Structure formats: C-alpha cells, structure tokens
Structure 1
Amino acid sequence: MHVSSHAIALIQKFEGLRTKAYKPFPHEKGYTIGYGHHSPAVYEGMVCTEAEAEKFLKADIANYEYQIESALNIDEIEVTQGMFDALVCLLFNLQGALKNGKRLTPLQTLVSYKLWKKMKAGDKEGAAKEFLDINKAGGVEVAGLTRRRKAEAKLFLS
C-alpha cells in the first residue's frame, strides 16, 4: 500500500515546513528539518529548500510505508486505506521509546502500544481510541500531539 494525499497533507500540516534545522524539543538528540525529517545527516545550522524538504518527505514516507506494510504482513493484519494512512502518519512522528535502557526503533515502539494489540484483535474502534494515549514527549503531554492524534484517529476510522 501507499499513503494517500490525505496522509501527506496531514503530515505536512502537523510537521510544518522548516528550512533550517531545529530541535522540536530540547531533550531530543539530533536535529529535524523540512517536514519533520529527522536523521543523523541533519545537523545544527543545516538549511534546505522547499524542493529538498519534499524529497526528504517522500523518502521518509516510503520508508515508513515499507515498515508498516511489513509489520502488518507479519502479524497478518488487514487494514483500510484510512488505517494505513493513520499508521504511517503516526510512525512518521514517533521517536523510539526507551525500554530496558535501550532505544527502540519507531516501529518497535508502535507495535508495543495497545493500539497494535487491538488491531491484531480486530478491534478497530478500540485501536482508534488508543491514538489518543500516544501524546507525550519526554513523558509530558503535549497539546499539539493531542491534536495530531485526534486527526490520526479520525483518519484511521475513515
């Protein structure tokens, strides 16, 4: 599957375009640029054009599409376009969580949430509600993440 234009628009809306590298939260390691592009290649003071930001976005989305598709296939979960879109949007935004002192990948983090367990059980409505519990950064609830998760949950149920 591939994300729809709705998912891309949601990511762009919530990430915003930033052509100069920044740290979304002071505790984060590394920098972000463009439409939420985060990688070791992004450094303090780095700048990009809007066209470069769109290239980063397309590459990041392709990576997350592949990861979600693989995880869905492994767990034999069937999804609608809206569900797939919402999962890619969520994965795009996740930073790996810490577990036993080791940082998980964003996908490992996603499948550790109740949202994934409810999807595996076929509980679409319950899974959608779980988006709302994934709204913290550094253990603190963030209003912008709450708004984003509500939009992703709505997309998930579309």
Structure 2
Amino acid sequence: MTAPVRTVNAEGIELIKTFEGLKDGGPDTPGLEPYLDPIGIPTIGWGSIWGIDGKRVTMEHRAISLEEAEGLLRRELFHTRLSVQRMIRVPLTDNQFAALASFTYNLGGGNLQASTLRTKLNREDYFGAADEFPKWRRAGGVILPGLVRRRAAERALFLA
C-alpha cells in the first residue's frame, strides 16, 4: 500500500510564498503576467516555470488570476511533495518535510536527488543534512542574496 502524500505545513507554505514572491511582469495590466526570475527564466505566479496549460512558461503566456496562481502553487507542490517522499527514506518531522519541500520547489527534484543533503539525510545524519542547505545559494553560477536568506530560513525550519 502506498503512503498518503504528506502535506506541507503553514510554515513551509509561508516560506515558499515569501521567497518566491508573487510578482507581476505587467503591473499596468490586469492579472499576473509572466516575469523573468533573477537568472532570466520566464516564470509566473509564485515562481512557477509551468503555466496553467501545463507548458513551460514563456513571456508570451497570458496573465493569470490570483486564484490560478494558487492553483499552480498547489499543483507544483503536489509534485514536489511526491519527489521528497520518494527520495527521503528516513522519518521527518513536519518542519523537516516543509523545509525539504521549499528546497525542492525552488531547485527541482533532480537537484535534491543529486544532493549531498539527501545522501546525508538518508544516512540519518540530520545535522549534517541541515548544514548542506547553505551550500545551495547559487543561480546561474552567481551567489544570490535571496538564496542565501532562503537557505538559512529552510535550515532553521528543518532544525526547528
């Protein structure tokens, strides 16, 4: 029997929303339009690279409503939660799961899969895994202050 998909607690949702931000690429028009993230990737809503049509976001995608942005977040979080559950084989607190969901939402399941964070965690080295969060602070080869803050927040939540 397959385990039910875990939920991300309120602290984890707030962390994701805070660091992804709800940006609008066209503030002079109705709806939330695509925008470029800090390394130039077309994004919509709370950091989604996938549109409501299931296709990769382009700058030509139509604007979405706040409700559609919430739906995108829920959809992407579902896949994120599945990835975390599939890759992590040790017991997790709700805060640890939420921190890993934020990390994976931002970086993708492939990065969690390849990470030393995952390896250490699956060896039950919880503190060693926590110390891996700050290492994931680069985007496009550049250290981004927002990622430094996000990883610190994820680490703190993981250890809470």
1:136 lines up with 2:121 in the alignment? no
TM-score by length of structure 1 reads 0.84
| Equivalence for 2:84 | 68
Q: 1:3 aligns with which of 5, 8, 17?
A: 8
Matched, 1:34 2:45: yes
In the TM superposition, residue 108 of structure 1 has moved relative to its aligned partner by: 2.3
Deviations 1:123-151 (A, max 9, x none): 11111111000000011111000000000
Q: Which has the larger radius of gyration?
A: 2
Report the 3-state secondary structure (helix = DSSP H, G, I; strand = E; otherwise coil) of the residue aligned with 2:63.
Answer: coil
Q: Comparing both structures, which one devotes a greater share of its residues to strand?
A: 1
2:22 is equivalent to residue 17 of structure 1: yes
Equivalence for 1:54: 70
Structure 1 position 27, deviation (Å)? 4.7
CA RMSD of aligned residues (A): 1.3
Distance in 1, Cα, partners of 2:134 & 2:83: 22
Q: How many aligned residue pairs are there?
A: 142
Question: Could you state the TM-score of these two structures normalised by the residue count of structure 2?
Answer: 0.83
1:100 match: none
Q: Does 1:78 align with 2:85?
A: no
- 8 Å contact from structure 1 (residues 27, 138) kept in 2: no
Identity of aligned pairs, percent? 33
Q: Residues 75-116 of structure 1, C-alpha deviation per residue, up to 9 Å, x if partnerless?
A: x3221111110111000001xxxxxxxxxxx22221211111
Tell me which stretches of 4 or more aligned residues in structure 1 moved more than 6 Å. none
Separation in 2 of the partners of 1:108 and 1:41?
17
Asked whether the equivalents of residues 84 and 101 of structure 2 are also in contact (C-alpha less than 8 Å), the reply is yes
Q: Which runs of 5+ in 1 are unaligned?
A: 95-105
| Matched residue SS, 2:44 | strand
SS of 1:47's partner is coil
Structure 2: stretches of 5+ with no match in the other structure = 1-5, 24-31
Q: Give the Cα–Cα distance (whole angstroms) in 2 for the partners of residues 26 and 130 of structure 1.
A: 22
Letter in 1 for 2:150: R
